[in-house]
């Protein structure tokens, strides 16, 4: 393990760090030359300003003051324009670059590697899209004004301290793989941690509560980076399925599901320790033995709220065999495969739902879709597709497991293979999780740059009980698919991160996950955006959003006390965010207590983050959340509610 000890006069105590970049911290000399980056105090009684300052305010830093910050940062301060600024008349216009941008706009990597761009573009206010009309208008909108390209802890500390001391909105961008605008903010200073990329494998790691394999990785590490290291060291640990996801960001801090969720629990369940810069600018360690309250909150209590993670240590596991296979049927004939009638189709779907508890009890994953499928005569039908994988199982064991489901589907008249003829894929982990085949892409809203409206609900074991509960769940999903007229589609994941599977952790992961069998999503497929199509009006988006919520209410009605995965939920429209995302008032109050202790001035703010209810983003009409703009867009001023 890379382990070094650092003592700086600006810090209160000796601090063990995981990587060399964490040794590079602010010094007294830095602060002497720039008082704007002095450290704060978590117990400060200083009054919170009513609104964050924005360009044009008298209090906004001067160009000279920004230049001085850049000097402190050693040149790491950026002032980026939106990606699509090359498509607009002016000094940045470049027709060739614009054309290339339009062709590659759906690439997640394009936006992950940009200092301000994000995957789901609508929170920016659509202020600068890659248009084919160069005479239209491009503004900074919801994109940050300045960015700290962080490659050391010193960079993060200076950025946090400057934003706090100068009362400027602060945001954090990892990879920008987010659907809700939590990593952008108008008139803000952003800390971009994407380029913190170190990694270390520990064949034997000892902590007070653990001895075994572990890995350390830096705050900007992505799932695709992790896959390389897993193969190199012949081991595995919990990462996201999407290659560009920053695995120390919202993924881990909001829970983090994967192909191992039923086998090892969630990503947050396997964290051993972490390093983070908190709102006072200091680097701290959080573990089971140190800053335990912060450690609890960081693991499942939401991202962008308690601090900026610079590195984590997580448990690792030996590679295991994994077997998977796919089942597909449709109301629409395809090649030599006949379609089935609608009632038979839904009976087959319900049979799959009934098999969910068995998949989960075997430590597996069921990855399901129901999509509208063109029939070729101007109408459409429905296609169901699932990929079921089992960890630590061989192909023969898998065939035995899947046999009852296949035989039941065939008995219903659904043309699926005999168990002996099912194609089974056997691999050693790590391997990509089982997604749907390319013929059904785009797979989920997480794969490309989108404007997706998405919402989710955790269907419980009780919803899968035979008889009325299972039928009610199946009917609620059918209602979404059939009555929306193709406006919304369904994606479900059969997994169950029980406390036993997760190793009995004590963390802030929503307790409803522990009895979940299916994480269900509804999303709008025609919100996939190529960067050039008409954006549409905000009124139309609001209407679609409200319609989606009406469908979700039918799911809530049959899942009392359950919740929603905040990374893939409608965090701006959920009527009960405390219950849905955090597990209820008692747990939320505990999280608020952590927030008050570590960030009493509200330096860190994200949409629906803990403590966010006291603030609002005000649009041009200055009506804020109540006006219907701030809660959905991030192109306004951040203010305390009730402030002038």
Q: Please spell the DSSP secondary structure of 477-510, one letter per residue.
A: HHHHHHHTTTS-EEEEEE----HHHHTS--S-S-
Q: Rounded mean pLDDT of 227-231?
A: 95
- Report the pLDDT value the prediction gives residue 429, as an integer from 0 to 100: 65
**Which of 235-244, 308-317, 544-553 comes out lowest in average pLDDT?**
544-553
Least Cα distance to 537 among 447, 624, 451 occurs for 451
- Report the pLDDT value the prediction gives residue 527, as an integer from 0 to 100: 53
Q: What is the DSSP letter of 520?
A: E
β-pairing verdict for 169-173 and 188-192: parallel
**What does the chain come to in residues?**
644
* Domain encompassing residue 346: 320-428
Q: What is the DSSP letter of 319?
A: -
Whether 292 and 363 map to the same domain: the answer is no
Whether 208 and 309 map to the same domain: the answer is yes
Q: How confident is the model at residue 374 (pLDDT cuts 50, 70, 90)?
A: confident
Residue 439 in this model has a pLDDT that exceeds 50: no
Task: Kindly state whether residue 328 falls inside one of the protein's structural domains.
Answer: yes
Residue 538 in this model has a pLDDT that exceeds 80: no
List pLDDT tens digits, range 591-625: 999 999 999 999 999 999 999 999 999 874 444 44
Show which of 396, 413, 428 is a domain's final residue.
Answer: 428
Task: Kindly state whether residue 20 falls inside one of the protein's structural domains.
Answer: no
- Report the pLDDT value the prediction gives residue 621, as an integer from 0 to 100: 42
Least Cα distance to 423 among 437, 444, 439, 412 occurs for 437
Task: Kindly state whether residue 47 falls inside one of the protein's structural domains.
Answer: no
- Report the pLDDT value the prediction gives residue 379, as an integer from 0 to 100: 81
List pLDDT tens digits, range 120-135: 777 787 788 888 888 8
Show which of 428, 444, 467 is a domain's final residue.
Answer: 428
What pairs with residue 53 in β-bridges? 168
- Report the pLDDT value the prediction gives residue 410, as an integer from 0 to 100: 98
Q: How confident is the model at residue 51 (pLDDT cuts 50, 70, 90)?
A: very high
Task: Kindly state whether residue 274 falls inside one of the protein's structural domains.
Answer: yes
Three-point CA angle 117, 598, 574, nearest 5°: 55
User: What's the burial of 335, exposed, middle or buried (CB within 10 Å: 0-12/13-18/19+)?
Assistant: exposed
What pairs with residue 311 in β-bridges? 218, 275
Q: Rounded mean pLDDT of 546-560?
A: 94
- Return the exposure string of 308-326: e unless at least 16 CB atoms fall within 10 Å of the residue's CB, then b: bbbbbbbbbbebbbbbbbb
What is the rounded CA–CA span in Å between residue 503 and residue 491?
28
DSSP 150-217: -SSHHHHHHHHHHHHHHTBEEEEESS---SSSTT--TTEEEEE-TT---EEEEEEEEETTEEEEEEEE
Instruction: Please tell me whether residue 506 adopts helix, strand or coil conformation.
Output: coil
List pLDDT tens digits, range 171-211: 999 998 888 888 999 999 999 999 999 999 999 999 999 99
Whether 214 and 281 map to the same domain: the answer is yes
Q: How confident is the model at residue 469 (pLDDT cuts 50, 70, 90)?
A: very high
- Whether 307 and 42 have beta carbons less than 8 Å apart is answered as no
Task: Kindly state whether residue 309 falls inside one of the protein's structural domains.
Answer: yes
**Upstream peptide bond of 442 is cis (omega within 30 degrees of 0):** yes
Residue 424 in this model has a pLDDT that exceeds 50: yes
Q: How confident is the model at residue 573 (pLDDT cuts 50, 70, 90)?
A: confident
- Return the exposure string of 58-71: e unless at least 16 CB atoms fall within 10 Å of the residue's CB, then b: eebbeeeebebbbe
- Whether 359 and 434 have beta carbons less than 8 Å apart is answered as no
CATH number, residue 247: 3.30.465.10
List pLDDT tens digits, range 479-526: 999 998 888 889 999 999 999 999 999 999 999 999 999 999 998 765
Whether 284 and 383 map to the same domain: the answer is no
- Report the pLDDT value the prediction gives residue 448, as an integer from 0 to 100: 43
- Report the pLDDT value the prediction gives residue 11, as an integer from 0 to 100: 42
Whether 300 and 332 map to the same domain: the answer is no
* Sequence-separated (6 or more) residues with CB below 8 Å from residue 228: none
Q: Rounded mean pLDDT of 109-117?
A: 94
- Report the pLDDT value the prediction gives residue 108, as an integer from 0 to 100: 87
- 471 to 267, 317, 346, 474: CA distances (angstroms): 32, 38, 10, 5
DSSP 93-134: --HHHHHHHHHHTT-HHHHHTSSS--SB-GGGTS-S---S-T
Pick the more confident residue, 13 or 630: 13
Question: What is the CB neighbour count within 10 angstroms for residue 167?
Answer: 17
Whether 264 and 231 map to the same domain: the answer is yes
CATH number, residue 417: 3.30.70.100
- Whether 249 and 230 have beta carbons less than 8 Å apart is answered as no
Least Cα distance to 156 among 321, 296, 17, 4 occurs for 17
User: What's the burial of 438, exposed, middle or buried (CB within 10 Å: 0-12/13-18/19+)?
Assistant: exposed
Residue 540 in this model has a pLDDT that exceeds 80: no
User: What's the burial of 594, exposed, middle or buried (CB within 10 Å: 0-12/13-18/19+)?
Assistant: buried
- 514 to 209, 317, 400, 570: CA distances (angstroms): 22, 21, 27, 21
List pLDDT tens digits, range 268-297: 999 999 999 999 999 999 999 999 999 999
Phi, psi of 162 (to 5 degrees): -65, -45
Residue 354 in this model has a pLDDT that exceeds 70: yes
Whether 290 and 377 map to the same domain: the answer is no
Whether 417 and 335 map to the same domain: the answer is yes
- Report the pLDDT value the prediction gives residue 64, as an integer from 0 to 100: 98
What is the rounded CA–CA span in Å between residue 365 and residue 359?
6
- Report the pLDDT value the prediction gives residue 436, as an integer from 0 to 100: 39
- Whether 95 and 150 have beta carbons less than 8 Å apart is answered as no
Question: What is the CB neighbour count within 10 angstroms for residue 131?
Answer: 18
- Report the pLDDT value the prediction gives residue 47, as an integer from 0 to 100: 64
- Report the pLDDT value the prediction gives residue 635, as an integer from 0 to 100: 87
What is the rounded CA–CA span in Å between residue 89 and residue 156?
35
How many domains is the chain partitioned into structurally?
2
Task: Kindly state whether residue 390 falls inside one of the protein's structural domains.
Answer: yes
Whether 334 and 396 map to the same domain: the answer is yes
- Report the pLDDT value the prediction gives residue 451, as an integer from 0 to 100: 57
Q: Rounded mean pLDDT of 358-370?
A: 97
Task: Kindly state whether residue 103 falls inside one of the protein's structural domains.
Answer: no
* Sequence-separated (6 or more) residues with CB below 8 Å from residue 243: 108, 222, 223, 224, 227
- Report the pLDDT value the prediction gives residue 49, as an integer from 0 to 100: 76
Whether 423 and 327 map to the same domain: the answer is yes
List pLDDT tens digits, range 631-641: 467 889 999 99
Whether 329 and 304 map to the same domain: the answer is no
Residue 435 in this model has a pLDDT that exceeds 60: no
Q: What is the DSSP letter of 25?
A: -
Task: Kindly state whether residue 225 falls inside one of the protein's structural domains.
Answer: yes
Least Cα distance to 369 among 509, 523, 225, 544 occurs for 523
Show which of 428, 445, 480 is a domain's final residue.
Answer: 428
- Report the pLDDT value the prediction gives residue 608, as an integer from 0 to 100: 92
Least Cα distance to 246 among 149, 307, 172 occurs for 172
Least Cα distance to 253 among 297, 207, 193, 319 occurs for 297
Whether 279 and 381 map to the same domain: the answer is no
What is the rounded CA–CA span in Å between residue 198 and residue 22?
10
- Report the pLDDT value the prediction gives residue 122, as an integer from 0 to 100: 73
Q: Average pLDDT, whole number, for the chain? A: 89
Three-point CA angle 449, 579, 300, nearest 5°: 60
């Amino acid at each position: 393990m890379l382990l070094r000890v650092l003592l700086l006069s600006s810090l209160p105590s000796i601090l063990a760090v995981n990587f060399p970049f964490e040794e590079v911290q602010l010094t007294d000399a830095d602060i002497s030359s720039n008082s704007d980056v002095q450290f704060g105090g978590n117990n400060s009684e200083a009054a919170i300003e009513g609104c964050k300052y924005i360009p044009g305010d008298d209090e906004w830093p001067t160009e000279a003051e920004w230049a001085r910050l850049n000097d402190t940062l050693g040149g790491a301060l950026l002032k980026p324009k939106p990606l699509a600024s090359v498509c607009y008349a002016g000094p940045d216009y470049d027709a060739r670059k614009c054309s290339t941008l339009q062709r590659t706009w759906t690439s997640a990597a394009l936006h992950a590697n940009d200092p301000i761009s994000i995957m789901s573009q609508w929170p920016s206010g659509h202020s600068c899209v890659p248009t084919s009309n160069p005479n239209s208008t491009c503004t900074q909108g919801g994109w940050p004004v300045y960015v700290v390209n962080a490659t050391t802890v010193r960079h993060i500390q200076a950025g946090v301290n400057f934003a706090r001391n100068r009362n400027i909105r602060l945001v954090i961008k990892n990879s920008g793989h987010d659907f809700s605008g939590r990593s952008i903010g108008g008139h803000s200073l952003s800390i971009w941690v994407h380029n913190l990329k170190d990694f270390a494998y520990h064949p034997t790691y000892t902590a007070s509560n653990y001895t075994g394999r572990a890995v350390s990785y830096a705050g900007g590490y992505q799932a695709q980076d992790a896959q390389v290291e897993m193969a190199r060291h012949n081991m595995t640990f919990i990462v996201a399925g999407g290659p560009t996801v920053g695995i120390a960001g919202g993924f881990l801090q909001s829970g983090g599901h994967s192909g191992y969720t039923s086998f090892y629990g969630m990503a947050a369940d396997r964290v051993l320790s972490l390093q983070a810069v908190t709102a006072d600018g200091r680097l701290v360690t959080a573990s089971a033995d140190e800053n335990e309250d912060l450690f609890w909150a960081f693991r499942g209590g939401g991202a962008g709220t308690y601090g900026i993670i610079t590195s984590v240590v997580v448990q690792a596991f030996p590679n295991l065999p994994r077997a998977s296979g796919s089942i597909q049927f449709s109301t629409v004939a395809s090649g030599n495969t006949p379609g089935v009638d609608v009632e038979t189709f839904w009976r087959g779907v319900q049979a799959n739902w009934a098999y969910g508890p068995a998949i989960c009890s075997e430590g597996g994953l069921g990855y399901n879709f129901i999509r509208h499928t063109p029939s070729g005569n101007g109408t459409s039908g429905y296609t169901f597709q699932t990929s079921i994988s089992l960890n630590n199982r061989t192909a023969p064991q898998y065939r035995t497991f899947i046999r009852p489901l296949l035989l039941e589907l065939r008995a219903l008249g659904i043309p699926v293979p005999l168990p002996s003829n099912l194609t089974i894929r056997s691999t050693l982990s790590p391997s990509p999780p089982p997604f749907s085949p390319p013929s059904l892409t785009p797979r989920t809203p997480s794969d490309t740059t989108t404007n997706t409206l998405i919402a989710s609900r955790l269907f419980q074991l009780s919803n899968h009980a035979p008889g009325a509960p299972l039928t009610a769940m199946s009917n609620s999903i059918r209602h979404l698919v059939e009555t929306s007229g193709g406006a919304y589609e369904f994606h479900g994941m059969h997994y169950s991160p029980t406390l036993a599977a997760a190793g009995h952790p004590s963390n802030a992961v929503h307790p409803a996950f522990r009895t979940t069998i299916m994480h269900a999503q509804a999303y709008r497929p025609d919100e996939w955006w190529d960067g050039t199509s008409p954006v549409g009006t905000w009124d139309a988006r609001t209407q679609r959003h409200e319609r989606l919520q009406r469908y979700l209410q039918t799911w809530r009605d049959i899942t009392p006390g359950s919740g929603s995965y905040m990374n893939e939920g409608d965090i701006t429209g959920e009527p009960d965010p405390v219950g849905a995302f955090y597990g209820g008032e008692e747990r939320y109050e505990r999280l608020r207590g952590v927030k008050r202790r570590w960030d009493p001035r509200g330096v860190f703010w994200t949409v629906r983050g803990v403590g966010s209810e006291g603030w609002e983003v005000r649009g041009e009409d200055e009506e804020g959340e109540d006006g219907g703009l701030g809660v959905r867009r991030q192109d306004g001023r951040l203010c305390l509610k009730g402030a002038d």
